[in-house]
Structure 1
Amino acid sequence: MHWPRTLAAKGTQPLARGHLRWRPAASRGGVLHCFLLDCSASMLPGERLALAKGVLLRLLERAYQARAEVALVCFGGGSAEVRLQPARARPWSDAWIRPIAGGGGTPLALGTERAGRLLAQAARRHPAQQRWLWLLSDGRSSEQPARPRWADAVMVVDFERQAVPLGRCRRLAEDWEGEYLVADRLIG
């Protein structure tokens, strides 16, 4: 049971079944961390994309230490591309991630759909494997796609730094019953 999320859902109401939130249990089939990286033009100002790449490198390093599998889907400019098919995590370097460029619109729904297909394929290949989806974005999209069905856990990492935040990443994390994380806290 994930008590903080359960109590947040409960609020001031009496505890009911609909308030219960679960923490993913450790899987004997291993873990796949699927990273969904926003490479749109809104991530370029303030070096948000550079920060996202730094966070991504840190998360890849953790996955390597945990002997997990990783996958990477980049979306931006009207497309979503699988940059890394699911594979065992390995030591990563800045030279591998530096060429990832940004620009164009924010096709969040397309990126989410592509990550969903990748997770579905992984579920068929390794049914006992746990599948975690990590969305790294500033939330500058009007799209509110559905949570990918095959994601056992969702983490939404927010890179929004505007003076007047839209709060879309937080809303998406709530809608997807996922964890909401602020990017600056992951680097520190």
Structure 2
Amino acid sequence: MRIEWPRTLAAKGAQRLRADHLRFVREAPPRGVLHCFVLDCSGSMLVGARLALAKGLLAALFGRARADRHEAALICFGGVSADLRFGPAIPRGWSERWLDPIGGGGGTPLVPAIERAARLLAGAAKRKPGQQRWLWVLSDGRSGGMPARPEAADRVVFVDFENDAVRLGRCEQLARAWDGDCITPAQLIAAG
């Protein structure tokens, strides 16, 4: 059994690590895993190079998916749209060169992005019902609206990029409402 660091760190919070914080990896079903990444490319993500950090983490997560032979999908949202940029497929030729053109700016259409992810995950559930489906939302949570949790998502992880002096805490709120996990980029990096 392996420790699942994002959930362990979320359970630990600011406390010292204790045995009751440990969360373990559930064995993947034989039909694999789909990681659906939803990347916030809004103007607020340009502050403090949040988008650059998110793109770096995304490259690492895609690399991990490729190594594990898991499928991945990427939905980018910003301005007024939410666009599917990749997948779902096993990321074979993924590299930072592919990420470079992803820019930021404009509003934060989180609701359309989650609706797009919900359609993608529902389609995957029909095609591969035994597949485990993870939804990753990389955002600072600076958006309005309360999207519904995608029913076809088996696991939800918010990577919260909000580091402003005055925090809205939207990623944490959504994670709680969706029975998901909320971690910081630093926790994800530490989990390796």
Q: In which range does the TM-score fall when normalised by the shorter chain? A: 0.7 to 0.9
Is 1:30 the counterpart of 2:32? The answer is: yes
Match of residue 164, structure 1, among 163, 166, 183: 166
- Quick check: 1:38–1:136 contact (8 Å CA) kept in 2? yes
- Quick check: 1:157–1:183 contact (8 Å CA) kept in 2? yes
RMSD: 2.3
Is 1:107 the counterpart of 2:116? The answer is: no
> Paired residue for 1:49?
51
Q: 1:68 to 1:186 in 2, by over 3 A?
A: same
Instruction: Measure, in 1, the Cα distance between the counterparts of 2:189 and 2:65.
Output: 16
Local SS of the residue matching 1:55? helix
Instruction: Measure, in 1, the Cα distance between the counterparts of 2:153 and 2:92.
Output: 22
Residue identity matched to 2:152: W
Please give the TM-score of this superposition, normalised by the length of structure 2.
0.84
> Paired residue for 1:11?
none
> Paired residue for 1:141?
143
Residue identity matched to 1:98: D
Residue identity matched to 1:59: L
- What per-residue deviation string (whole Å, max 9, x for no partner) do you get for residues 67-92 of structure 1? 10000001110100000120012252
Sequence identity, in percent? 57
Match of residue 122, structure 1, among 121, 124, 133: 124
Deviation (angstroms), 1:28: 1.2
Instruction: Measure, in 1, the Cα distance between the counterparts of 2:107 and 2:94.
Output: 28
Residue identity matched to 2:141: G
Deviation (angstroms), 1:137: 0.2
The gaps in structure 2 that reach 5 residues or longer are: 13-24
The gaps in structure 1 that reach 5 residues or longer are: 9-22
Size of the alignment, in residue pairs?
Answer: 174
- Quick check: 1:61–1:91 contact (8 Å CA) kept in 2? no
